Structure 1
Amino acid sequence: MRTTARHFRVSGKVQGVFFRASTQARAQALGLNGWVRNCPDGSVELLANGTAEALQQLEDWLWQGPDRARVTAVEATPAPLQPLAGFAIRR
């Protein structure tokens, strides 16, 4: 299967609700590589490498997020592939 990359920005009540840790767990379960981090504007940003199907499953999950999250927007854009191993939480 062909590997692609996608950049996401998730807005709403997405900080302080375990969004990064939950995203990391979901991405790992889907076999994705990449990273996730909080942004100063209150959004969460992530980059993920994987199959188109797995990336779509992640995007679908991002619209819901963990129980305490209230997602208002998910922006997804294609990104260049980067040599990433695992899925990290960046500070």
Structure 2
Amino acid sequence: MDPTGNEPQRRYRWKISGTVQGVGFRWYARGLAEKAGVCGWVRNLADGSVEIVAEGTEEALRRFEGMVRTGYLADGIAGIDRKEEPPTGEFRAFKIVF
């Protein structure tokens, strides 16, 4: 993370499928986001998947995704789709959206 805040910000949207609802995945993702230093949100989708939108430096976002892919709930993940979007700077924290 760039302590001066001058490093360019990126924004990713992930759709995570598998056994990711009813297992505490949103709280897990929030904790990982805080450790990785990214801001945004996570929510359940009607199709049983989870959606995450996060902003941060490229390094922080890659670290976050790596933690999601290898953490203790990773065994329940069947797939992760990531799309890059233009950053908006709207986030100040990482939240669970209900």
Normalised to the residue count of structure 2, the TM-score between the two structures is 0.85
Gaps of 5+ in 2: 1-6
Greater fraction of residues in helix: 2
Change beyond 3 A, Cα 1:6–1:67: closer
In 1, the alpha carbon distance for the partners of 2:21 and 2:97 equals 13
Q: Is the 8 A contact 2:12 2:85 kept in 1?
A: yes
In 1, the alpha carbon distance for the partners of 2:74 and 2:22 equals 9
1:3 to 5, 9, 19: 9
2:55 to 49, 59, 79: 49
Change beyond 3 A, Cα 1:42–1:11: same
Structure 2 counterpart SS, 1:63: helix
> What's the CA shift for 1:68?
7.8
Q: Is the 8 A contact 1:22 1:66 kept in 2?
A: no
In 1, the alpha carbon distance for the partners of 2:13 and 2:41 equals 10
Normalised to the residue count of structure 1, the TM-score between the two structures is 0.91
Gaps of 5+ in 1: none
Runs of at least 4 residues off by over 6 Å: none
Based on CA coordinates, which of the two structures has the bigger radius of gyration?
Answer: 2
| Identical positions, percent | 34
Change beyond 3 A, Cα 1:70–1:79: same
> What count of residue pairs does the alignment treat as equivalent?
91
Measured on the aligned residues, the alpha-carbon RMSD in Å equals 1.5
